[in-house]
Amino acid sequence: MRIFDPHVHMTSRTTDDYEAMRAAGVRALVEPAFWLGQPRTSVGSFTDYFDALIGWERFRAAQFGIRHHCTIALNPKEANDPRCTPVLDVLPRYLEKDGVVAVGEIGFDSMTPEEDEAFARQLQLAVEHDLPALVHTPHRDKAAGTRRTLDLVKESGLPVERVAVDHLNETTVRAVADSGAWMGFSIYPDTKMDEHRMVALLKEYGTERVLVNSAADWGRSDPLKTHKTGLAMLEAGFSESDVDDVLWRNPVEFYGQSGRLLLDDLPGFTASSDTFSGNSVLRGGGDR
């Protein structure tokens, strides 16, 4: 099973996770920029974070044979803090970087006017930088937030097939399915979705335009949920090709619209090998 996790916050994860993900079949991922649990108080802490997403985290993932990409944005929660909003002015610089495959996560947290403004402005950035957009739907008042999201996308002029609306569930999937946007599902140990509900939705809606991610971060979460969803699909009678559609071909197609995906094998790794050979980074790193 080859896996492209389209949404996972590796900054918060350990090397054990990277190792387990590689062993489970993860060969590529996208790490969306989001909030860190601890609120930021300046633009500087955003740029340090973005720099890590386009440098250090990419290097860390590469040590385990995983291609790391990211999305860059001001997240909706911190869009409400005037100390953070000036980061919008430095985004264009990052949106030109290799491996930056979308503008995201953007969207709503509490649906304030400030969030509205940051969301609309960043949809424009997606248009200007020829990138797709990854949209986070709110935890509270989710259905209304999702409807408002789809309205803003329509107003922005960004083609709807270049938008993924994430963290969907049974109550929000229909509107997104009908809109033509990509449907993202975060599979969590005890919130959002679980793999069995996911399989039920796949039976109802099919595999087209569906993205399944672990959204693993600093909270209770599991970076192997993509793999477990794949197993649950097979158990439920989906074919290996269906699984490959959901866990590989779909995210590749969605983020591939950026023209900036890198999916060739990393130096020292081949599709079949799980270990790093030669004068390895892992050896040096492991001994520190």
Partner 1 sequence: MTFHLGYGTNGFSNHRLDDALDIIAGLGFTSVALTLDHHHLDPFADDLPARVSHVAAKLDRLGLRCVVETGARFLLDPHRKHHPTLVSEAQEVRVDFLLRAVRIAAELNADCVSFWSGIKPADVPADEAWNRMRSGVAAVLEGAEPLGVTLGLEPEPGMFVQHLTQALRLREELGSPSLFGVTLDVGHCVAVEPDDAATCVRRAGGLLVNVQLDDMLPGVHEHLEFGEGDLDLGATLAALAAVNYVGVAAVELPRHSHAAPDVARRAVEALKAAMPDEPAKPRHPWLADAQRAVRRDPAVVGRLFPAVGRRVGRGLNRPDDPQGLVHGSVDDAARAELLGALATMLDDDALSAELLALYRHGDDAEKRGVLRGLALVGDRASAAGLEVVRDALRTNDVRLVAAALGPFAADHLDDHGWRHGVLKCLFTGVPLAAVAGLERRTDDELLRMVADYAAERTAAGRDVPADAARLLGKGE
Nearer to partner 1, 239 or 280 (CB): 280
Helices 195-205 and 225-235 pack at an angle, to 10 degrees, of 60
Show the tokens assigned to 7.
């949404």
For residue 187, which of 13, 2, 22, 8 has the smallest C-alpha distance? 8
Nearer to partner 1, 126 or 212 (CB): 126
Angstrom distance (rounded) from CA 98 to CA 78: 25
- Measure the CA angle with vertex 6, ends 134 and 209; round to 5°: 75
By the rule CB under 8 A, 272 interacts with partner 1: no
CB of 108 to partner 1, least distance (A): 29
CB of 56 to partner 1, least distance (A): 7
By the rule CB under 8 A, 259 interacts with partner 1: yes
Stretch that binds partner 1, among 11-19, 206-214, 227-235, 258-266 (CB under 8 A): 258-266
Nearer to partner 1, 190 or 287 (CB): 287
For residue 106, which of 128, 134, 130, 129 has the smallest C-alpha distance? 134
Q: Which of residues 23-62 bind partner 1 (CB under 8 A)?
A: 51, 54-56, 58-59
Nearer to partner 1, 144 or 262 (CB): 262
Q: Which of residues 87-146 bind partner 1 (CB under 8 A)?
A: 93, 96-99
Q: Give residues in contact with partner 1 (CB under 8 A).
A: 51, 54-56, 58-59, 93, 96-99, 259-260, 262, 267-268, 278-281, 283-285, 287-288
